[in-house]
């Protein structure tokens, strides 16, 4: 009980030192918390020196080597306690698996939010009349009306709530950094989220008496026969079809059914559904 109280106190101390996306805890300060001798402190510094990627002297801990600190505490004064879990809950660390799922979460909560926004009929009409391609019109509207930074920040807060962790700037920075790295690798694109709103735009266009152009699939028979495409249809539980409206409706229904916010056991299936949808989009089926 005493050890847990001391661990909680150490985490609170680190949280109090968070400045923006950074924090620092020096060895000598940690030694006081852990009641270490000078010899033990020197041994720690020597060990971390050899583990440093840069081969530089290490005299403290921060976000860049927090995993070393967690490992040290687990092996030493707080052996037997879930140190890593406490650091995660305290908003000081994220597991790689949480970062991997983050992009799927970002996609689904952003799409759900956007689909519930009222569209500006006058602006939409102007854009549709001036653009011969529906996708271009949709993307132009979305980029002019929605701030992706605000969408990202909103999703970060929701993800912290989903993981039941403290929403610190440290965690927000990790999530935003992961998203931007994925953008550079072309593993993430806000256009994919915006294109998921096609049903909403088609319905809005119909209400104002405009034709939503380019609604037919670009996929040919060879594309529909590709193994990856067939597997994607299987995940969605649908026969092979080029009817975008029915595919959109099915995708949205499954996303609502399996999203972890609604179904705590649906995370894995939700990831498969999003991956299947992206496969169909990449092949021009939707």
* DSSP code string of 118-169: PP-HHHHHHHHHH-S-HHHHHHHHHHHH--HHHHHHHHHHHHHHHHT----H
Task: Using the predicted structure, report yes or no on whether residue 148 has a pLDDT greater than 60.
Answer: yes
For range 38-55, the mean pLDDT: 65
Task: Using the predicted structure, report yes or no on whether residue 218 has a pLDDT greater than 60.
Answer: no
Task: Using the predicted structure, report yes or no on whether residue 215 has a pLDDT greater than 50.
Answer: no
For range 225-245, the mean pLDDT: 82
Which has more pLDDT, 51 or 186? 186
pLDDT score, position 55: 47
pLDDT score, position 250: 82
How far apart are alpha carbons 246 and 143 in whole angstroms?
26
How far apart are alpha carbons 284 and 218 in whole angstroms?
5
Are 141 and 127 contacting, i.e. CB atoms less than 8 angstroms apart? Answer: yes
**Tens digits of per-residue pLDDT, 98-146?**
888 898 899 989 998 998 888 888 888 888 888 767 778 888 999 999 9
Domains and CATH numbers, the chain: 2-89 (no CATH), 95-215 (no CATH), 216-286 (1.10.287)
pLDDT score, position 84: 92
Are 276 and 231 contacting, i.e. CB atoms less than 8 angstroms apart? Answer: yes
Mean predicted lDDT score pLDDT of the chain: 82
Percent of the chain with pLDDT over 70: 87
How far apart are alpha carbons 66 and 64 in whole angstroms?
6
Rg of the chain, C-alpha, whole Å:
24
Give 60's strand partners: 26
Confidence of residue 48 (pLDDT cuts 50, 70, 90): low
Q: How far apart are the first and last CA of the chain?
A: 57
Nearest Cα to 259, choosing from 153, 101, 95, 150? Answer: 101
How far apart are alpha carbons 243 and 216 in whole angstroms?
8
Which has more pLDDT, 250 or 42? 250
Are 155 and 103 contacting, i.e. CB atoms less than 8 angstroms apart? Answer: no
């Amino acid at each position: 009980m005493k050890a847990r109280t001391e661990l909680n106190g150490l985490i609170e101390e680190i949280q109090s030192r968070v400045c923006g996306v950074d924090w620092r805890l020096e060895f000598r300060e940690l030694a006081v918390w852990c009641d270490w001798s000078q010899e033990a402190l020197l041994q720690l510094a020597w060990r971390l020196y050899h583990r440093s990627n840069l081969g530089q002297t290490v005299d403290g801990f921060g976000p860049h080597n927090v995993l070393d600190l967690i490992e040290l505490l687990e092996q030493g004064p707080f052996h037997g306690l879930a140190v890593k879990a406490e650091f995660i809950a305290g908003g000081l660390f994220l597991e790689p698996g949480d970062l991997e799922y983050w992009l799927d979460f970002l996609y689904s909560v952003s799409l759900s939010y956007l689909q519930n926004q009222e569209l500006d009929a006058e602006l939409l009409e102007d854009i549709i009349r001036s653009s011969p391609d529906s996708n271009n019109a949709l993307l132009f509207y979305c980029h002019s009306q929605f701030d992706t930074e605000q969408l990202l920040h909103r999703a970060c807060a929701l993800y912290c709530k989903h993981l039941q962790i403290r929403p610190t700037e440290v965690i927000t920075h990790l999530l935003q950094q992961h998203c931007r790295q994925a953008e550079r690798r072309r593993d993430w694109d806000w256009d994919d989220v915006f294109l998921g709103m096609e049903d909403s735009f088609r319905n809005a266009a119909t209400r104002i008496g405009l034709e939503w152009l380019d609604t037919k699939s670009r996929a040919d028979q060879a594309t529909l026969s590709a193994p990856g495409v067939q597997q994607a249809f299987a995940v969605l539980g649908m026969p092979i079809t080029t009817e975008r409206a029915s595919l959109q409706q099915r995708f949205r229904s499954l996303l609502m059914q399996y999203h972890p916010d609604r179904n705590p056991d649906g995370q894995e299936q939700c990831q498969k559904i999003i991956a299947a949808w992206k496969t169909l989009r990449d092949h021009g089926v939707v």
